[in-house]
Structures are given as structure tokens and as C-alpha cells.
């Protein structure tokens, strides 16, 4: 007699940018991966009743609600996927854990260190009852990044000397209105929490080492006033004629944060995150230099990893472009033939698949950060801010 397959019911909170990315992931993962459990897109919660109803129908959710607490009353929801702004991560995630639901939360773990600590503690308590947590650091699941992690783990770079990481965007100029990402009480921080969070996680993941000290840092807000508009009309506001009278308010987050750090193995590291790097749309990049070789990655060319083999004769040394789309590369074999490139959405699809795999008793292709892991990244972010404001080194 065939064994009955279990079903994982998903309850999503949030219907904007990340809500779309996560909905696509839950919808697509069972199509590309052989999963140990069935996935049911059970319910989605959003603040606006009409918007969430439209979203639910478009993205294939069974039902919808304007109150996320309804998800915790639904016995068919086994995992709560938290895609809300940073200041809501703690309340929703902790409530879900206390209700016995697995939780997948967007990054950064929280807007503040205190909230992140509370989430970590709740996760520790829930873990004793078999409840799992996950954090959406999706860039770990770019085949090129996962392959870089594998090369370092295999010792191909030898002793590590330097990590050089930067996440450069240019969408946050003076004409960008006061979205929630520019409000400290909602976001916690600006480019730092949004972008440096990815860099810190990626550096920790690729090298397998921890950041032990921030030795210097700079925090800068260049655009101090922004126009107050409804988020839904932000595009219209940017397109409106210049010179019109505008209602403005203070932007209370950083536009750029740069910091220098040390890794547990002795390597030095630099991190730069900004939304004002004109000409860089989404340049999430890392370079690692080691005794035997180096590697570098840039998300704007996400299917490629560059590799320098220092063991080659000097006359043959040079940067080699590796197209990380062969079935031998992590995750790539679940999608298209070699050189039929992947996109941004596939990192989310691969993580959704790994979440289901873990909850079904299997092992993910690469490690998924849980709240404990993401707490370590949050501690580095906090140390960088304290270093910038005190102008002295801070141990992590």
C-alpha cells in the first residue's frame, strides 16, 4: 500500500515585492524539485482587504485575510512565511513559533538587535518541540555562490587573506519618496540592514568563517529629506514635474555604510553598502583572495563565477570565467540545460525547495540560515553601527 504523502500548508504574510517573489517560489518549487512533501499555498495575509484578495487570486492562494493572526488559527497552515517590513518580523514570527508553526522570515532577521535576540530566544524554545526556523538569505542559492562556498570548503583557495564585498544600488536618490525603507522606526536601518545583511551572510557562508571584530566604520545619510507620498503612488510622484510644492519629512536611516573587519581565520574584510552608487543597479559582489587562488562574483552577472588558479605556471595565470549552469553546479541541474541562464527568482525557488526538504526530513543542497545563524549576522551589523558612532573598534 502506497504511503500517504504529507502536505505542508503555507501561510504568507505580505503582498508586495517579496510577497510576489515568495509566492512564485512556493508555486514553482514542486515543479522543479522532487520534494518529500506536497506544498499547499493555503492562505495569504495583507493589510488591505481588496489588495490581498486580488493578490490571492493572481498568485494561487486558497484564501486570504487582512489579519495575519487568522493564519495561526488555521490548522492547515504549517509554516508562516513572514515577508513584512522589518519592524514586524519579531511580533509575527514569535507569535507563529508560540503557536507551533514553522517560520520562514525575510532578512534582516529584525530591525533592531533587541528584536533579533527575542526572535532567536523564541526559536530556541520552539526548537525543543521540533519547530524549525528559516531566513531568506536567497543569494546563498545562486549556483555560482554555492559553488564558491564549495571551492573554499575543498581548500582550493588555501589560507584566506582578504574578503572584499560591496552591494551597490542607485535607486535611492533625492527623487525617491519616503518609503518605509527610509524610516528608521520601520526599517531599523537603511542600506546597512537591507544590503550589508546580504554581504555579511554571503561572506560568512562562502568562507565558512565568522566575523570577530569591526575595526573601522562609516555611516552616512546624504538625502536627509524625502517627499511624503503614498507607497502606491511613488512612481507617479517621481514622474511629476519638478518645482511643484512637496510635503517632505526626514529620512531617518543611512544611505551608505562602509566597514572593515577581521575574520576568525585571520583574514581582513571590507564591506560597502549604498543605494546611491549611480550606475550600479544591483551590484552585489564579493571577492575572496587566498594563498592558492581567488574567486569573485557579481550578481549582475549571476550565472558566472570568476576563478584565479595560482597553482598554474605564471605564464598561464589569469581570471577564468566559469559558467555555473552545468548540472554539476549546485541547483543548476534542477532547471535548464547548460548556459540556459537562471534569474533572480530561482534563488527563492531553490530555497523554498530546501525548506520543504528539511521539513520532510532531508538535507538541503546548501545550509539554510535559521534564526540562530541570522542572529550572528545581526550582531555584525550592530557592531558596525556601534563602531561608526563611537569611532573605535568593536568586538562581535
Domain locations along the chain: 7-138, 142-337+371-395
Q: Which DSSP symbol is given to 120? A: H
Q: Residue 233 above 90 pLDDT?
A: no
Tell me what the mean pLDDT of segment 285-310 comes to: 98
Per CATH, is 142-337+371-395 categorized as 3.30.360.10? yes
What pLDDT was estimated at residue 244?
A: 57
Q: How far, in Å, CA of 329 to CA of 323, rounded?
A: 9
Q: Residue 231 above 80 pLDDT?
A: no
Adjacent-strand bridge partners of 289: 162, 294
Domain 7-138, second-level architecture: 3-Layer(aba) Sandwich (3.40)
Which tens digits make up the pLDDT trace of 238-251? 455 555 567 999 99
What backbone torsions phi and psi does residue 350 show, to the nearest 5 degrees? -65, -40
Are the C-beta atoms of 81 and 10 separated by less than 8 Å? yes
Q: Do domains 7-138 and 142-337+371-395 have the same CATH topology?
A: no
Question: Which residues contact residue 333 at a Cβ distance below 8 angstroms, ignoring those fewer than 6 apart?
Answer: 326, 327
Q: How far, in Å, CA of 256 to CA of 277, rounded?
A: 9
Q: What is the dihedral of CA 344, 349, 355, 356, to 10 degrees?
A: 180
Are the C-beta atoms of 12 and 81 separated by less than 8 Å? yes
What pLDDT was estimated at residue 4?
A: 83
Tell me what the mean pLDDT of segment 7-35 comes to: 98
Report pTM.
0.94
- Percentage of the chain beyond pLDDT 70 is 95
What pLDDT was estimated at residue 42?
A: 98
Other residues' Cβ atoms within 10 Å of the Cβ of residue 72 = 18
Q: Closest Cα to residue 137, out of 355, 369, 332, 365? A: 369
Are the C-beta atoms of 92 and 72 separated by less than 8 Å? no
Tell me what the mean pLDDT of segment 133-160 comes to: 98
Tell me what the mean pLDDT of segment 63-71 comes to: 98
Q: Residue 237 above 50 pLDDT?
A: no
- Percentage of the chain beyond pLDDT 90 is 94
Mean pLDDT, all residues of the chain: 95
Which tens digits make up the pLDDT trace of 246-293? 799 999 999 999 999 999 999 999 999 999 999 999 999 999 999 999
Q: How far, in Å, CA of 307 to CA of 4, rounded?
A: 46
What pLDDT was estimated at residue 229?
A: 86
pLDDT category at 234 given cuts 50, 70, 90 is very low
Residues in the chain: 396
Q: What is the DSSP string of 203-243?
A: HHHHH---EEEEEEEEEE----EEE---GGGHHHHHHSPTT
Which residue intervals of the chain are DSSP H helices?
17-32, 49-59, 69-72, 89-98, 113-127, 143-153, 184-187, 191, 197-207, 234-239, 344-359, 371-390
Amino acid at each position: 500500500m502506497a504511503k500517504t504523502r504529507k502536505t505542508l500548508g503555507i501561510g504568507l504574510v505580505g503582498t508586495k515585492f517579496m510577497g510576489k517573489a515568495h509566492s512564485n517560489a512556493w508555486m514553482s518549487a514542486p515543479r522543479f524539485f522532487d520534494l518529500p512533501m506536497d506544498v499547499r499555498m493555503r492562505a495569504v495575509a495583507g493589510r488591505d482587504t481588496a489588495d490581498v484578495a486580488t493578490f490571492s487570486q493572481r498568485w494561487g492562494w486558497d484564501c486570504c485575510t487582512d489579519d495575519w493572526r487568522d493564519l495561526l488559527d488555521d490548522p492547515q497552515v504549517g509554516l508562516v512565511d513572514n515577508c513584512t517590513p522589518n519592524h514586524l518580523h519579531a511580533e509575527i514570527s514569535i507569535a507563529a513559533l508560540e503557536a507551533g508553526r514553522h517560520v520562514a522570515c525575510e532578512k534582516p532577521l529584525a530591525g533592531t538587535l533587541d528584536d533579533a535576540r527575542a526572535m532567536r530566544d523564541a526559536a530556541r524554545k520552539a526548537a525543543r518541540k521540533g519547530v524549525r526556523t528559516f531566513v531568506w538569505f536567497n543569494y546563498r542559492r545562486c549556483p555560482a555562490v554555492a559553488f564558491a562556498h564549495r571551492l573554499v570548503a575543498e581548500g582550493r583557495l588555501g589560507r584566506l587573506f582578504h574578503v572584499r564585498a560591496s552591494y551597490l544600488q542607485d535607486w535611492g536618490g533625492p527623487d525617491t519618496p519616503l518609503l518605509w525603507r527610509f524610516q528608521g522606526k520601520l526599517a531599523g536601518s537603511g542600506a546597512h540592514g537591507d544590503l550589508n545583511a546580504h554581504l555579511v551572510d554571503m561572506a560568512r557562508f562562502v568562507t565558512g568563517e565568522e566575523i570577530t571584530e569591526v575595526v573601522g566604520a562609516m555611516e552616512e545619510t546624504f538625502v536627509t529629506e524625502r517627499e511624503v507620498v503614498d507607497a502606491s503612488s511613488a512612481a507617479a510622484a517621481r514622474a511629476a514635474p519638478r518645482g511643484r510644492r512637496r510635503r517632505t519629512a526626514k529620512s531617518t536611516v543611512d544611505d551608505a555604510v562602509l566597514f572593515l573587519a577581521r575574520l576568525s581565520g585571520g583574514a581582513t574584510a571590507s564591506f560597502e553598502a549604498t543605494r546611491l552608487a549611480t550606475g550600479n543597479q544591483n551590484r552585489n559582489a564579493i571577492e575572496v583572495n587566498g594563498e592558492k587562488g581567488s574567486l569573485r562574483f557579481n550578481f549582475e552577472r549571476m550565472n558566472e563565477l570568476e576563478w584565479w588558479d595560482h597553482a598554474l605556471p605564471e605564464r598561464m595565470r589569469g581570471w577564468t570565467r566559469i559558467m555555473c549552469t552545468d548540472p554539476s553546479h549546485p541547483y543548476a541541474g534542477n532547471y535548464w540545460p547548460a548556459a540556459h541562464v537562471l534569474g533572480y527568482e530561482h534563488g527563492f525557488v531553490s530555497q523554498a525547495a530546501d525548506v520543504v526538504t528539511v521539513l520532510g526530513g532531508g538535507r538541503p543542497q546548501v545550509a539554510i540560515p535559521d534564526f540562530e545563524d541570522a542572529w550572528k549576522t545581526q550582531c555584525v551589523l550592530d557592531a558596525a553601527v556601534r563602531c561608526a558612532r563611537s569611532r573605535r573598534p568593536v568586538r562581535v
